[in-house]
Each structure stands twice: as C-alpha cells, then as structure tokens.
Structure 1
C-alpha cells in the first residue's frame, strides 16, 4: 500500500446494481488456476535452515486491498501479490502461509521473527529501510478517482472532501501535504475522510459522501474498472515508487527472495501473473533490494 508507513484495494470490488455500492465477490477473481513455478534448487538451497526445514514461509498480509491482497468468498487470502508470493514459494520449495494481521503490526512482527515476510503493498521508502529490507516486485504511483462528469484536480482540491484508506501514504503524507499547501495559500484545507477499507472509501465516493478518492494506482484502477462506469481517473498517476516484500534488516532471506522474484521475471512467469491481474502498467524488469529514492 503506497504508504510512507505504507499500505494499495479492498476485497475485490464490483458494484451492486441495486444499491450503487461496492460489493465483495469472488467473481472478480481472475478465472483459472494461479500461475505456478517449479522449484529451483540453486535458489532454494540458499534458504535459511529454519525456513527450509519447516517447509513454510510465514507471510503477514493486511486485507482487504484488492487487487493486491483481499479475501475471496471462501475466506482465502488472494490477490496479485498473494499469487506472486505463492510463486516465490514454489521456486523456493516451500508453502507460502498467509497470516492476516493489522497493517502496522506486520513490520514489527517481521523484525521480531514471528513472520518471515511482509506482503501488504508496502511501499519501499528510505525511512522504512532504516528498520527493514525490501525486495521490490512492482511500481505503483498515486491515482485519484472522481465521479464521472464531476472533474476534480488533485493539485487544486482545497476545501474538498477526499477519501483515503487509513495508514496509507495517501492518509499519512500525500493528502496532508496538499492540505497544508492550501492553508499556506490562505485557502480552506482538504477535508480528509478516513476509511478502514478501500471498498468503504469507494462506496463513499460513489454515493456522493466525498468528492474524490486517493489511493495507490493499481487500487484506483481496480475500483474504476469495477464501478460500472460511475467512476473515472482524476488527473494522472504521480509519485511512482516501488512496492517491496518486507524482510528483516540484513536477513539472509532477502537475497534469496530477490533471486526468486528475478527468476520469475526472467522466465516470463511474473509477466503471466501481472497480466492475469491486469496490472501490466506497473510491472518491473529487475527486482532489487532497497530501491527507494525518497
């Protein structure tokens, strides 16, 4: 989730035609089985012994944040990043076991060793790199959404009500910075309206309770795609930054996961996963450890 302490959409979204609200439904999960990979011994043999012996990669994730992480109708955690981690597990010869957790508790759990990996649309930032390492796997920016025919300028939103998901970079940095600029210019601040999930934020916009929505670009694109023509982009994508899987600072697991992600990229399996979820625009060609520039 593009978050300076970062979170990106809610349980897959579609609009209820009778209520006009976003509804979670398994039907928005891409059809067919997930993309699978073969074990690569040269990479798997570098796994820390404790993980290799357990046969499990303990992964912390906060949902809902579709299309990256969310729950299907049967309660299983699914999504683009989930499928990518599962493919990483294939390469490493272990099962990725997802544990639902509050977003702000995932990094501390990785630091404490109760989780091996954090996968919750974390934005790789210089500030976070002081405490944990990131293995990059995607590039996301910030994208605003508006109701069709009701134009909003993200750079001139003083006095408007803007929905954000709590603890995202939009909540913590982006919208507050825009609001401060309004005040400094002698104009009314932005009324930031916080929601616990992205589907609630999307519903608020659709129902006219807010004027715009700000979220990570893949999340906003997913909301718009499933809005039955009621929502559209407001402005361009901006402030692109890498998403990264979180590992403990200096942990040997980091380079192993990076090699696994790069293997998926080099073999075309990464492209298949990205394409399956319709997120080609943010795909990368090189996975890095700690690629933040800000």
Structure 2
C-alpha cells in the first residue's frame, strides 16, 4: 500500500527549552534546539550509520530517531517565525502523535518570577562619566548568551530576561542610555568585544586572571560551579574523581570548560573525564536528559535554578568548585568602565540591586561593592 504524508505542525519557542516527542508506529523521535541561523533551510534526512540512529541537522532543531522504517520528507524552517512544519512519510498506520513538552529545566525558556523588573532614575553625575560617543548614540551595545537561566534566557521563547538583563537595563536607566541587547552564543561574544561590535557583555562572565589580560570586568556577583545529574544520581557522582572515564557536558567558551579540563587532569590521571562540549548550556542539559552525558558542569546559580524548576528531574551533587566573581565584561581599554562601575554601585547603594537579586533568588551570590577586576 502506498505511503501517505502526515503533517505535524510543531510550535517551537525560539531559543526556548523544548523537547518534542512524537510516537510514530512505535518509534520515538526527539528534537533538540540548536542556535538559529539566518537562512531558510530545507533538508532531507540521510543515514549516518552511527549507533543505529538516523539523524539530520535542521536549524533550529536536531531530529533523531531509532531505526529506519519511516522516511522523513522535507523539514522547513522559516527564520523569524516560531513554527516548524514537519512532513513525515508514513505507512498503513498513518498516525502521528505530537507531544510538546516544555521542559524549562532542560533549556533557556525558563520561568520568569512574577515580580516586575525595578526601574531606576538617571544620575546626571554618573551619566557624565560616559564617553562622548556613547552619549551621542544614546545606546550601549550589550551581548548576552540567553541560555543560562536565571542569569539570561528567553522567556516564552521570545523575551530576553534574567538577572543580567534586569541589572543591565537598570544600569542603562542610571546612565540615561538604552541598552541594546544582542543574543548569541558565549563563544561568539569574545570576538564581538574584541572587534568593537559590542560595548560590553553581561552574560554570567566570570572574572578570571587569564581573562583580565584582554578584558576589564566590573564585578557584581560571586558564584562557583558545580555538578548536576539526573534525579537519583544513577552513576553515584559526587565530584570529578567519580567522573573519571565518564561523559561530562560543559558549554563551550566558558570558564567551566577550562576548570573541567584542569580538574580532570588533576583528579583523573590516566583515565580522564570524557568532556563533551556544547554550544549552549541548554544543549548540555538536554544531553544529560537523554543520557548522552552523566553530568553537567555549570555555574552554581544556573544549576540551582534548573533543579528548582525541574520538578525533581535533576539534582546538584558536588560542592561548588572555584568560586569566582561575575561581572560586566568590556575591552581592556574601554572608556565605559568608570561609568559602569559607578552605575552598578549606585544600584547597590539605592536598593535596586537587592530587589533584582531577591527577584532571581541570588542572595547567596550577591556582593556589597562593584569592583573592577576584583579590586
């Protein structure tokens, strides 16, 4: 009997935390979000012969299924729209059940607290510290990787939100300028700062001695990093020594990646941790959820948020590693540093900072002074 086509219209929150499962004649398909690209894609699946999985990469999702009885038709994504139409060629059964599970614990589309972001007033003395080019433009160009709740993520798949976003917008109000946000991967932010595309980054950036060689930080939080596993801790992970020879998920371009490599070399000599890097922290969490890694190493604040909204799906199992300051990152010779430091200190002094800290449950990471490079 001839095969027929069935359309599954799937709404994907852009940048959101999404895992979609469809049951097709007893086989399971899982989709995971990837970073979107600025071109329309129409791709057809091709067997890759890897572990009996049949995979295709189609922006903004990855589709994987076990077996090869069904054949995919074209999968089309239109940039700027929030849906993907998947045509699936099916046999006699002809039944597609599409289930959309928005798992905020697995990605950036987390829940934003009900509390509105506080507003701040312009301080003319602090605003006067801005370089003339910024005064004339009335804009500070800021970068953030919106895959790291509660620091920065896309609420409902659309709206940039999080602690860094609230603090950055309040800083703009003190300085009397607009903060113009751009969302892109952490690995792409550093080149953007170096070439002048962005004036600063507020993206959970840890202030480290190595980074200070090229950048200047105005610090406003202090947080370590820890290990998160699925509930019940099936591999009995407690620290890096218990991860020797096992797969660990870490976001590329982060301090956590450097720390993971160094700690693995120290604690797992001869049997290193198998570190798997991902473009976003969302993807690392999804890999944990699908058992492609046994743990994720990320900032303590982010893992705490993920576990709090996961309804028991994940747990943190290690003590914090390498507590470090987190701050607004600017180029080494940036003329913005004095204004940014004074503006953040103003927010600390007038209580706006505390309101934002309380909103995102980050009291344990809060600071009393906005320092430059930790001093």
* TM norm structure 2: 0.69
Provide the secondary structure at the position in 2 that maps to 1:236. coil
Is 1:59–2:145 an aligned residue pair? no
Structure 1 residue 21 displacement after superposition: 7.2
Q: Is the 8 A contact 1:56 1:97 kept in 2?
A: yes
> C-alpha deviations, 1:203-248, integer Å up to 9, x for none?
2223333221110111111111111112111121121101111122
Name 1:161's counterpart in structure 2.
247
- Secondary structure of 2:229 counterpart: strand
Kept in 1, the 8 Å contact 2:147–2:154? The answer is yes
1:35 aligns with 2:118: yes
1:117 touches 1:247 (CA, 8 Å); kept in 2? yes
Residue aligning to 1:85: 168
| 8 Å contact from structure 2 (residues 205, 328) kept in 1 | yes
Q: Distance in 2 between matches of 1:108 and 1:199?
A: 22
Q: After the TM superposition, which parts of structure 1 deviate over 4 Å for at least 4 consecutive aligned residues?
A: 11-21, 23-27
Q: Is the alpha carbon distance of 1:205 and 1:21 closer, same or farther for their aligned partners in structure 2, counting shifts above 3 Å?
A: farther
Could you say which residue in structure 1 is the equivalent of 2:103?
22
Counterpart residue number, 2:265: 180
Shift of 1:263: 0.7
In the alignment, what sits opposite 1:281?
A: 364
Distance 1:79 1:38, change over 3 A: same
1:227 alignment partner, one of 310, 313, 326: 310
Q: Is the 8 A contact 1:58 1:97 kept in 2?
A: yes
Aligned counterpart, 1:205: 288
Larger Rg: 2
Task: Note the alpha carbon deviations across 1:103-129, whole angstroms, 9 max, x for none.
Answer: 234333334333211112111111211
Q: Hey, what's the Cα distance between the residues in 2 that align with 1:204 and 1:33?
A: 33
Q: Quickly say closer, same or farther: Cα 1:88–1:198, change in 2 above 3 A.
A: same
Shift of the alpha carbon at 1:46? 1.5
Compare the two structures and name the one with the higher strand fraction: 2
- The equivalences for 1:65-104 within 5 A come to 65-73=148-156, 75-104=158-187
Q: Give the superposition deviation at 1:92.
A: 0.5
- More off after superposition, 78-87 vs 105-114: 105-114
**For this pair of structures, how many residues does the alignment match?**
280
Partner of 1:7: none
Contact 1:22 1:202 in 2 (8 A): no
The CA RMSD measured in Å over matched residues stands at 2.5
2:237 and 2:308 mapped to 1: Cα distance? Answer: 18
Matched-pair contact (CA < 8 Å) for 1:142–1:240: yes
Partners of 1:178 and 1:190 within 8 A in 2 = no
Residue number in structure 2 paired with 1:5? none
Helix, strand or coil at the partner of 2:297: strand
Residue pair 1:119, 1:245 contacting (<8 A) in 2 also: yes
Alpha-carbon shift at residue 33 of structure 1 (Å): 2.3
Report the alpha carbon displacement of residue 200 of structure 1 after superposing the two structures with TM.
2.2
Hey, which of these two has a bigger chunk of helix by percent?
1
1:106 aligned counterpart, secondary structure: helix
- CA shift, 1:155, in A, is 3.4
Q: Check 1:111–1:163 CA distance in 2 against 1; reply closer, same or farther (3 A cut).
A: closer
Moved more, 93-102 or 12-21: 12-21
CA gap 1:190/1:56 in 2 versus in 1, 3 angstroms = same
Q: Which runs of 5+ in 1 are unaligned?
A: 1-10
